[in-house]
Amino acid sequence: MSLNTPHALPSYLSKHELGPWGTYLEQVERVTPYLGHLAKWVETLKRPKRSLIVDIPVELDNGTIAHFEGYRVQHNTSRGPGKGGVRFHQDVTLSEVMALAAWMSIKTAAVNLPFGGAKGGIRINPHNHSRGELERITRRYTSEIGVIIGPNKDIPAPDVNTNAQTMAWMMDTYSMNEGATTTGVVTGKPISLGGSLGRVEATGRGVFVVGCEAARDQGINIEGARVVVQGFGNVGGTAARLFQEAGAKVIAVQDHTACLHNSNGLDVLSLLKHAEEHGGIAGTPNAEAISHDDFWALETELLIPAALEGQITARNAPTIRARIVIEGANGPTTPEADDILAANGTLVVPDVLANAGGVTVSYFEWVQDFSSFYWTEAEINHRLEAMMRSAYASVASVAREHGVSQRTAAFITGCSRILEAREVRGLYP
């Protein structure tokens, strides 16, 4: 990929500051030859539609004034309102939020949801702040980005270090500023405020569903299959539990406190309980602590990176001995690592497909809010599983047709749908 062309990157990012956005740009470059006549519009995908950086001044509990930097990026809205989470993390950058918004565009299109892609974040370590401070920070952030969000414009959702309570504060702040209760402005809300049953487990359940589909394609029996999970929050924890319930052996788990291993299978429920009580999995009984390098090198049928982006790189990819990588996180594998895994015969089920369960149930929540008619959890899970299986089958078919990876196939599907909408809508004015 050449980044020296005048249209390759926004002027406010230098070639040395691309970060995750650079990974996304390379993914677009790789898919461009497969876009046919739509390739004339490909520059649309290489720049966000709108990037907002906001200052968030807040009075802390001790009476001092602190300032935090917040972002909301709308990458593309040709197919519908922007959709994407809000994360609170001390390492949030504009490059990261841009890339996450772009991956949301591809994801919603690949699963054929009527959304575009967006993402938000605040550069903050939430663990250093009280509940009251987090509420004030969230409300001020919502007020600052309120000019560009809305149920028909851009719908935030939870992400890293945010949850249903965060969404309740955002919904209330937006509603107060609008002068009317507007439940559809965010998804991932508490059930009492119009949230959807099944939303908390949706991403992990989607990872499980497509993992089972991929395993079947590779001739792997889930019962007895070994599973390794990096990240043990809602996504990794839910996926691990569902795989164990299906008869698989979760032989290793990593979170921010430890890497734990048991070749006979870890007790996922005990891990979940220990993590909830102690803030992490470190110290869980009947598990051996291993190094990060040993964790990635474990022989396994399924490897699920479900933490942050950039976890599988050219450094550790050669050591990976998994038959299938199912990306529960956004952007966990770099392009260089992708090539290494492919050369070693590892199938990668990409993030824009594998972790689309969350945004799919967010879509269900958005629809339910508009109609004020709510579905049962069984109905939600049934609809989710049907849509994930359909999306997987479509992407796998494109991969076989063109002889490409599933990531390239998902990008062919998603980019084609976005650019077709761009073409038929035309340019205004």
Predicted confidence (pLDDT) at residue 13 exceeds the cutoff of 90: no
- Helix (H) / strand (E) containing 119: strand 117-123
CATH 3.40.50.720 fits domain 202-354: yes
For the beta sheet containing 65-76, the strands, ordered from the edge strand earlier in sequence to the opposite edge, are 50-59, 65-76, 117-123, 82-89, 154-158
- Pseudo-torsion of CA 189, 191, 196, 199, nearest 10°? 70
- On the question of a common fold for 47-182 and 202-354, the answer reads yes
In the chain, where are the structural domains located? 47-182, 202-354
186: which residues sit within 8 A by CB, 6+ positions away? 155, 156, 157, 167, 170, 171, 174
| Model confidence pLDDT, tens digit, residues 85-105 | 999 999 999 999 999 999 999
- Alpha-helix runs per DSSP H in 38-189: 94-110, 131-145, 164-178
| Model confidence pLDDT, tens digit, residues 196-249 | 999 889 999 999 999 999 999 999 999 999 999 999 988 999 999 999 999 999
For the chain, percent helix, then strand, then coil, each to nearest 5?
45, 20, 35
Q: Among residues of the chain, what percentage have pLDDT more than 70?
A: 96
E strands, 264-375, where?
Answer: 288-289, 299-305, 321-326, 347-349
Contact 259, 290 (CB under 8 A): yes
Residue type, position 40, single letter: K
| Model confidence pLDDT, tens digit, residues 138-190 | 999 999 999 999 999 999 999 989 999 999 999 999 999 999 999 999 999 99
Q: Which residues are catalytic?
A: 119
- Indicate the pLDDT class of residue 68, thresholds 50, 70 and 90: very high
Cα 230 to its chain centre, rounded Å, is 14
Contact 260, 271 (CB under 8 A): yes
Q: CA angle at residue 244 from 243 to 248, to 5 degrees?
A: 75
Look at residue 428 and give its three-state secondary structure.
coil
1.10.3720.10, 3.40.30.10, 3.10.20.30, 3.40.50.10860: which CATH number matches 47-182? Answer: 3.40.50.10860
d(Cα 350, Cα 306) in Å, to the nearest integer? 12
- Supply the pTM of this predicted model: 0.90
| Model confidence pLDDT, tens digit, residues 117-136 | 999 999 999 999 999 999 99
Beta bridge partners of 322: 300
Cα 103 to its chain centre, rounded Å, is 8
Predicted confidence (pLDDT) at residue 58 exceeds the cutoff of 80: yes
